[in-house]
Amino acid sequence: MGTTDVLILFLVAMFAIIIVLALLLWSVLMVWWQAALSRAPVPLGQLFRLRLRRMPLAKLIACRIQAARAGIHLDIQDLAAHHQRGGRVEEVTHALTSAKKEDLPLSWEHACTADLKHLNQDADR
């Protein structure tokens, strides 16, 4: 294998790595931008860590934005943790925003516990 072949192989490998990184970076930046514009900012580093853990960023950010619009602060790590436990993040967020509209006391912890308990009851049937 000549020097030219090695150089071409190196350039192709570098190009492939750059394309993969650009795609990863693009999706994270778009979600970060959406959150920032919706006044529900999330640090970029957290989004990268969540992406590496294969979390559904769009779903988590949509829930965070929905809660922020209702005046509820939800930490992105709490949303991710509930998702990892098998919880239904959208339903819990909707329950929190609905409870807030009706002036009903409902905490994130209580809503998550109820969601997971409901899921366990469904699994037992």
pTM reported for the whole predicted model: 0.77
- Give the C-alpha distances (Å, rounded to integers) separating 54 from 28, 48, 51: 12, 10, 5
With cut-offs at 50, 70 and 90, classify the pLDDT of residue 122. low
pLDDT of residue 100: 93
Q: Which two tokens stand for residue 88?
A: 């239904």
Considering only CA atoms, which of 61, 66, 65 is closest in space to residue 46? 61
Q: Which pLDDT score, from 0 to 100, does residue 66 have?
A: 96
In the predicted structure, residue 13 carries a pLDDT above the cut 90? yes
Residues 32-60, mean pLDDT to the nearest whole number: 93
Average pLDDT over residues 26-48: 92
Reported as a single tens digit per residue, the pLDDT across 71-92 is 999 999 999 999 999 999 999 9
120 pLDDT more than 70: no
Q: Is the pLDDT of residue 125 over 60?
A: no
Percent pLDDT > 90 in the chain is: 78
Residues 6+ apart with CB under 8 A from 24: 51
Please, what is the average pLDDT of the chain? 90
